[in-house]
Amino acid sequence: MPLTIRAKNGVHQFSVDVAATPEQQEKGLMFVKTLAPDRGMIFPYDPPQDVAFWMKNTLIPLDIVYIRADGTIARIVHGAPLSLEPLQAGEPIALVLEIGGGRAAALGIKEGDTVTWPH
């Protein structure tokens, strides 16, 4: 599924898998050994929730992008492989995007940028 981030420096396209069920959301990107630069996974929440993610059994570093219901990025955190530290959203979130670690910074994606995806 396509996902677009509109940043101050341009538009960035990703192809994402959707973790729609509780089972898919629990597994996420656990045990994945590689992730292409333009790939990711999204976790939708309806209604929006204050969520926390962790990196249990996740073998690669990830950027975890917390997105509000209006499509703006609320927070971007870096998840270290295998960490059990909860990575809090800090506010109600409608969507979480996981992309390869360091991709947000490399592309200039920041808090306040906007995200769209067909749902």
Q: Which of 98, 101, 97 is nearest to 119 (CA)?
A: 97
- Output the average pLDDT for the chain: 96
Q: Which of 53, 3, 50 is nearest to 27 (CA)?
A: 53
pLDDT tens-place string over residues 17-29: 999 999 999 999 9
pLDDT tens-place string over residues 73-113: 999 999 999 999 999 999 999 999 999 999 999 999 999 99
Report the distance separating Cα 5 and Cα 8, nearest Å. Answer: 10
Domain count for the chain, please give it.
Answer: 1
Q: Which pLDDT belongs to residue 29?
A: 96
**Residue showing tokens 């910074």:** 105
Q: Is the pLDDT of residue 59 over 90?
A: yes
CATH number at 98 reads 2.60.120.1140
Residue 118 pLDDT grade (very low, low, confident, very high; cuts 50, 70, 90): confident
Q: Which domain holds residue 95?
A: 2-116
